[in-house]
Each structure stands twice: as structure tokens, then as C-alpha cells.
Amino acid sequence: MKLYPRLALTILTLIIMQASFTGFYVSRTIRNNNLKDARIELELKTDFIINNYNSWKRHLWKQLILIRNYTAVTAISEISEEDLNSLLTSTGIDAVVVKSEELNFSIEAINSSPDFVLPSGEDLSNLFNHPSIRLFNIRGQFYMVGILYLQELSSPAEIYLIKHINDSFLKNIVFDTDGKILFHTTTDFLAGHDEVQKAAFRHIKPDMAYLELYALEDEGESFNMAGIKVGEIISDSGASDVFLTIILSNEPYQRRIQAIERTVLTVSLFTLIITALLTLLFTKGITRPVASLANAMGHIRKGSYNIQIKNSGRSEIGVLLKGFNGMAARLHHDQIRIEKSLDEITFLNEFNEEIIHSIRDALAVVNDDLVIEKSNSAFDHLAGGKCATLTDFVKHAFDDSLIEIVRNILSQENEEWIRRIRNRNKGIFELKIYPVHREFHLHSDKKMCVLLLEDISARTAYEEKTTQAEKLSTISMLSAGIAHEVNNPLSSIVTNIQNLIYEEKDPERLESLRLVEDESQRIAQIIRDLTDFTSREQDQGNRCSPLQISEEVKRLIQHSRRPDGSLIPPILITSEGVNSDVMISKGELMQLLINLLQNAVHAVTGESPIEIFLTESEEDTHITVKDRGCGIPEDIRSRIFDPFYTSKSNGEGTGLGLSVVYGIMQKYKGSVHVDSTVGEGTSVKLLIPKYSGENE
């Protein structure tokens, strides 16, 4: 630092220190003097207010003595209301209450305050045989009461002179004092300035007769306080000590201190300004170039490098400014080049982001720590939100096998991997995994791969329906021809066999003929199933009650037996408010349920019940047949609706049961859904359109 700035700083420091010391010393001296003045003021004003309060007590005493002297020569019954009104008008007393055996009455002064409530005789009580002054708190009103007991008369009487202690009373005893006063107990407010009651309650204690406190702080205000016990009050809750608290603000003293501090500060600032101006005259040759340099550095700090400082000197400061200008020019050139590159990078990044998020398939980039480096909107939607790791994604959408697949791909660095998988909602996705080559890695120490998940559930379902429809169409044509060609000779065979049975007497031959008849009937049944399967046409206007049909089917087959002779498992029907009819014929719905129940009976080995659940949505009725049997293996689940395909052994089934179910549901524009777990059971849900006048 040069000589002139150092000298200016030293002078400014001395001026500030001198101003601070002077201000501190003067303020402390004035505060001490103010404390003495405040103590004297508080004592004088306290004495003044207490004397005024006691003068009212003496005034009541005087009136009580006058009344006692007057009643010594005049009976209490002879006192007229005019005499009492005269007493109230001339003395300032608010009311008089007289209680005796001869009469009870009370009179309120004409000029009493509007908020005055005249106490009744029951509210007032006397404890002494001599005149006394007592304080009462009656229904929230604070009273000073002079009490006179007249026992010399033939009929003893009590006279109460009542003075209401309200705002008017307080103004009289305070006169022109600018303090605030409060009558209170240690817990209750009686009269006065209620805004100071918090301070009074905080500092006044029950065992105190007199208290003075100075420089108290409450809600940002400084004040002095004096409290004195002035008597005992009688209220509904009992007797309590009454305190008169006087509070004087310290604001005048604070204004005096603030005025002196402002004077000291003004003088110090004036001296400081003069010194600064003089120092500026000596140091402007240095401070101006330095200020220009600081301003230019501020522009550079904000990113504005296109700035130059005017320089016409050859001093050390001039050399510094010249070097700064060269540096700023170089930075400006580099800034232009960097901004251009950043614009190109930003454009490419935004363009790539738009492309990634425009892809409807779920796409994500995963590293070998299973951290998702990048994902598009479809991937986040599939996961139900943004996921940080592949583990989080799997918890929401797929099982843990996906994690093992990704780890294997990253460890082996295969070229690509494609497979169909299912998510937790049974949706079918085509999973494609492509490893990212190291030359394109953002982090050279991380292996990465790209996950692409395409939802092919709808396409797969469509393909399955198309394949099934093609199969049914082919089987329909083939079955129609077979049924026609086989049915005629079969009828002749059955007729002749029945004739032979009728005529045959040999038991062994009769048994053989009956076996031929049973097998012929079985062939006939297969032909009838084929005929029903291939020649169904939608019956217009058919409708039935699903609950009623379910009950009929239950009654029809509940006593059936298995091939081994045992009864079939119990059938339980549960309906959740299903009242609507469905758009299907009664016979076809019975055929659906019988086929499904027969499959369930075959799958259940024990006594576990078969359940039928009926629910409905806005457009469809849902009928679910659920068993707890062996379940359907995954490898044959796609073939269960194929005609003539059966998993039953020993010729127990024809393979047409579920094909007939599928065909009937297609006929009425319904759908069938199968959910099965090996070892746990199978659930088949039928969605049948509700009946309405529009679909007749």
C-alpha cells in the first residue's frame, strides 16, 4: 500500500476510534444521570398518586363520621332519598346502599358513569362494628366502599358508601401525570391500563408491600415500575391482596440519549467526510486506475471479456493496465470459440434428447453397477417414476431375472441379446440389450449396455386371437364334413347294436354288445360336440341371469362322482351385487360353466372347494371359476384353447371343452382370461356383455 492510502486509513481509524470512545463515555454518563432522575421522578409521582388515592379514603371516612353523627339524633327511617341524593351530589360518591330490618334500599348518583353497575345488598358485607373502608370486586366491577354499622339504634343498620374505581377515578388520582397505573391482585386485573398488566403480574409477588424496579423491558419498550400494596379485596373467590402499580416510560430519557448520540455521530461523520475528501485529493492518481481495473475485473468475473481500460501513463500502473488489456482480449477470443462449441453441443444434446424421448419403447442406458445413466419418458412411465438404479426399476416392473440378464451381457460383452419376457402385470415385452462399445463410453472405466423394452402385449394377443380363429375356422370346416360323413353310418351301427342287445340271450355276448353300444354312444357324443362347435349361430334377443344359471349348474352336477367313485369337491358361489342379465342364451351359459367345472374337478385331487365368483363392471358381468388344483404348466398354456388338445390321459377328454368356451365367448363378443400357477391352482374369468335393449 502506498503512503497516501496508508495515511488516509490511519487517520480514518483514529477518527472512528475517537468518535466511538466519546459516544460510549457520554452515553454512559447520561444513562447514569437519567437513572437518578428516573428514580426521583418515580418516587415523587408514586407519592402523589398514593396521596390522591388515600385522600379518597379519608373523604369516605369523613362522610361516614358525618352520617354517624347525623343518625345519632335522627332515626334511620327518617333519612329521605333527597338527603342521600344531596350527599351523592356534593361528595362525588357513586351510590349509597342502606340495609336494616326496617328498610333496604340503594340510590345511585345522577352523574355516575355509564358503565357503573349498582351492587345489591347481598353483594356487600361487613365484618366490623366500627366504620371501615373495604375494597370489593363484584361481577367484574371494582369498588371502594365505606361501611358504617349503626348498632345504637333500635333497629341496627349498615350503610355503604360506594365509589366506583374506573377510568374517571384513575384520571382524578393521576391528574396530569403521564404514567400508567393499574389496580390488580397477583392474578386478576381490577382497573386501570390493561396493556401493562403483563408486566405487573410478572414482577409483583404476594409477599411484597412495596417494590421499585428500573429499566425494565417489555415488548420493545423500556419503563420503570413501582408497586405498593393498598389493601385487601373481597370477591366471589375470597379475599386477596390489592396492589397499585405505577409504570413510567423511559422514552423521554431515551430520546435525550439518542439526541446526544446523534450529535456525536454527526460531528464524527463531518470530520470523517472532510478527512476523506482531503485523502481523496492526495490519492486520486492511484485510486482511479485501481478502480478502473477492479471494475474491469468485475466484468470479467461476470463473463464479459470484451473490455479494455484506457491507459495513457507509463508508470507501473500503466504497465499493469496494458497487460490486463492483452489478457482480456485473449479471453474474449477464447470465449467466442467456446460459446460456438457449446452451442453446437447443446443443439446436439437437445436433438438427441428429443429423439430418445420420442421413442415409444422404454429405453435406458445401464452401467455395470446397475446405475441407470439415462432413460426416456417411456421407461420412466413403465417404472412408475424416475429410477436411479435397475434394482429400483425391477421392484416396480419386472422380476430379478432381468438383473441377472444385464449382468451376464455386461460381463460377456455380447453383441446383442433379444428375448420375450413378462412384467409383474403379466404384460409381454420384447427385451433387446445392446452393449455399448468402449470407444463411445462417457466413462472409460464403466461397462454399459442399452436396454430396449417394447410392449408387445397387444400384438401378441392379436396374433394369438388370429391363430386361434384360423384354427377354429379350419377345424369348423373339417368337423362339419367329418360329422356329416360319420353320423349316418354311426346311426345305423347304434340301431343295429341296440337290436342285437334286445335279441341276445348269452350274457357274455350281451356284455360285449353293451360295451360296443357305450363306445358308439361316446362317438355320437363327440359328433354332437363337433356339430355344436361348428354350427353355432348367435341367437338374437337371448338373455339369462348368471346367478340363476350358476345355481342350476351347481344343483345339476354337485352330486356327480369322479371316475374313482368319490364325490366331486363342494362348489361355492359368491355374488357381489350382480343383478343384471347377460347377453347369452341359457343353454350356452350352462355349457360354459359345466365345461369349466369339469376341468376344475379333474384338476382338484382332494376336497378343496371349487369357487364361482360373480362380479360386474359398467359394461360386463365377470364370472370366475377358481380351483386349487395342480395348475397349468407354462409350456402348454398357449395351446389350451386348441380343438382336440387335452392334457387328460386314458381318453378322459375330447379336447373340445375350452375350445367350445372360447368359441361361445367370441360369438357374444366377450372374452376369457386364464391365470394359473403350477401347484396352486387355476382361475378362469369370463367377461360377458350385460343385456340391454340396444344389443337385442
Tell me the CATH number at 401. Answer: 3.30.450.20
Establish if 383 belongs to a structural domain.
yes
Q: Which of 674, 682, 568 is nearest to 627 (CA)?
A: 682
Q: What is the pLDDT of residues 394-432, one digit of tens each?
A: 877 777 777 888 888 777 765 677 877 777 776 788 888
pLDDT at 477: 60
Let me know: does 145 contact 151? Beta carbons within 8 Å: no
In sequence order, the 6+-apart residues with CB closer than 8 A to the CB of 458 are: none
Average pLDDT over residues 527-534: 61
Let me know: does 118 contact 106? Beta carbons within 8 Å: yes
Establish if 627 belongs to a structural domain.
yes
Structure-block grid coordinates of residue 602: 379333474
Q: What is the pLDDT of residues 53-88, one digit of tens each?
A: 888 888 888 888 888 777 665 666 566 666 666 766
pLDDT at 614: 93
600-611 burial, b for 16+ CB within 10 Å, e for fewer?
bbbbbeeeeebb
Establish if 280 belongs to a structural domain.
no
Q: Both 602 and 653 in a single domain?
A: yes
Structure-block grid coordinates of residue 419: 428375448
For the stretch 287-292, contacts whose Cβ atoms lie closer than 8 Å and that sit 24 or more positions apart, written own/partner, are 287/5, 289/313, 289/317, 289/318, 289/321, 290/317, 292/321
Q: Which of 524, 530, 528, 527 is nearest to 476 (CA)?
A: 530
How big is the CA angle at 503 (ends 501 and 508), to the nearest 5 degrees? Answer: 55
Q: Both 84 and 152 in a single domain?
A: yes
Share of the chain above pLDDT 70, in %: 78
Length of the chain, in residues: 696
Let me know: does 671 contact 468? Beta carbons within 8 Å: no
Q: Which element (helix H / strand E) includes 134?
A: strand 132-138
pLDDT at 133 over 80: yes
Establish if 346 belongs to a structural domain.
no
Q: Both 69 and 179 in a single domain?
A: yes
**Helix and strand totals (H; E) in the chain:** 14, 20
pLDDT at 396: 74
Let me know: does 229 contact 207? Beta carbons within 8 Å: no
Structure-block grid coordinates of residue 580: 343384471
Q: Both 551 and 678 in a single domain?
A: yes
Q: Both 586 and 442 in a single domain?
A: no
pLDDT at 625: 93
Q: Both 39 and 184 in a single domain?
A: yes
In sequence order, the 6+-apart residues with CB closer than 8 A to the CB of 634 are: 678
- Distance CA(487)–CA(527), nearest Å, equals 7
The pLDDT-based confidence of 626 (bands split at 50, 70, 90) is very high
Q: Both 477 and 605 in a single domain?
A: no
Q: Both 92 and 140 in a single domain?
A: yes
| Cβ-based neighbour number of residue 504 at 10 Å | 15
| Cβ-based neighbour number of residue 682 at 10 Å | 24
- Distance CA(381)–CA(375), nearest Å, equals 10
Let me know: does 325 contact 341? Beta carbons within 8 Å: no
CA quadruple 66, 67, 70, 73: dihedral sign:
negative
pLDDT at 664 over 80: yes
Q: Both 588 and 483 in a single domain?
A: no
Residues spanned by the domain of 174: 7-252
Mean pLDDT of the chain: 78
Q: Both 86 and 165 in a single domain?
A: yes
In sequence order, the 6+-apart residues with CB closer than 8 A to the CB of 353 are: none
pLDDT at 440: 55
Secondary structure of residue 344 in the 3-state scheme: helix
Establish if 162 belongs to a structural domain.
yes
Establish if 309 belongs to a structural domain.
no
Establish if 316 belongs to a structural domain.
no
Q: Which element (helix H / strand E) includes 63?
A: helix 3-71
Q: Both 424 and 476 in a single domain?
A: no
Cα 554 to the chain's mean position, in Å?
51
Domain boundary among 401, 433, 455: 455
What CATH number does residue 488 fall under?
Answer: 1.10.287
pLDDT at 604 over 60: yes
Average pLDDT over residues 534-551: 70
Total domains, the chain: 4
Let me know if 107 is exposed, middle or buried by CB neighbors in 10 A (0-12, 13-18, 19+).
middle
Rank 133-147, 245-259, 277-291 by mean pLDDT and report only the highest: 133-147
What CATH number does residue 569 fall under?
Answer: 3.30.565.10
DSSP state letter for 456: -
Q: Any idea which of 4-13, 487-496, 572-581 has the lowest mean pLDDT?
A: 4-13
Rank 106-120, 248-262, 333-347, 558-572 by mean pLDDT and report only the highest: 333-347
Establish if 307 belongs to a structural domain.
no
Domain boundary among 423, 440, 455: 455
Q: Both 553 and 631 in a single domain?
A: yes
Q: Any idea which of 252-261, 370-379, 465-474 has the lowest mean pLDDT?
A: 465-474
Domain boundary among 440, 455, 470: 455
